[in-house]
Amino acid sequence: MSLLLIEDDPNIVLSLSLSLSNAGFKVDSETNGREGFDLARFNRYDLILLDCNLPGLSGLEIVKKLREEKCATPIIILTVLSELNNKLELFNLGADDYLIKPFAFSELLARINALLRRPPRIAGKILKVGNLELDPDKFLVTKGQTRIPMSAREFSLLEYLMLNPGKFLSRQNILENVWDENADPFSNTVEVHIMNIRKKLETETEHYIFTASNRGYKIDSER
């Protein structure tokens, strides 16, 4: 697996490059945003780690430009708390996750592995089930002409269901592909998020998400 690290702090570059290499990844790094953007454009990576505040081009500018060019490589933003003014903006621009500095390498590794386990996102592909549409590039869910607000986790869960229409997905399968490896398997987090999504999407006559005992959840336009 090959990763691109775009980070202007040489100490962080050295530390992360060494730790990621020891974890089995091939790592390219760049300290300038514009040059890092060129690396991301012209090379194929499995994942990009991107500092938010960079010389040349900011992290958010890089995300925006890459998504405009239909680059679907997963991106984790590395940011300090003071830079995190609007988490939704990160996801609207196309970032897949973010991590606040300073962070433990074990947490970063868990986030990386969680993203790499997800099915590849096809840039420009809008997912549809009945009159429900999900646009991964724009972080947008609509039902008919109505926009449905979603948290980042709700969006990821709904996206995973819509990538597998009509197929029952077990609770464990969902945890492994939507949450990271540190998720508590005994918590009710999946059930809570499913319930929240149903509240936002369904009415007495419209049903999208179905449950089967011992099989899990599926999304479908009909039973």
Give the tens place of pLDDT for each residue, 166-218. Answer: 999 999 889 888 876 656 666 788 999 999 999 999 988 889 999 998 889 99
pLDDT at 186: 67
Could you give the percent of the chain with pLDDT greater than 70? Answer: 90
Structure token pair of residue 154: 């709700």
Neighbours of 206 (CB within 10 A): 12
pLDDT digits (tens, 9 = 90+) for 56-65: 999 989 998 9
Residues 91 and 130: their CA atoms lie apart, in Å, by: 25
Domain with CATH 3.40.50.2300 in the chain: 2-117
Range of 20-24, 60-64, 147-151 with top mean pLDDT: 20-24
Residues 75 and 121: their CA atoms lie apart, in Å, by: 12
Residues 156 and 177: their CA atoms lie apart, in Å, by: 9
Domain with CATH 1.10.10.10 in the chain: 127-219
The phi, psi pair for 104, rounded to 5°, reads: -80, 140
Question: Is 1.10.10.10 the CATH number for 127-219?
Answer: yes
Which residue reads 């869960």 in tokens? 157
Question: Is 3.40.190.10 the CATH number for 2-117?
Answer: no
Helix (H) and strand (E) counts for the chain?
8, 11
pLDDT above 60 for 223: no
Q: Is 204 helix (H, G, I), strand (E, B) or coil?
A: coil
pLDDT digits (tens, 9 = 90+) for 23-61: 999 999 999 999 999 999 999 899 999 998 899 999 989
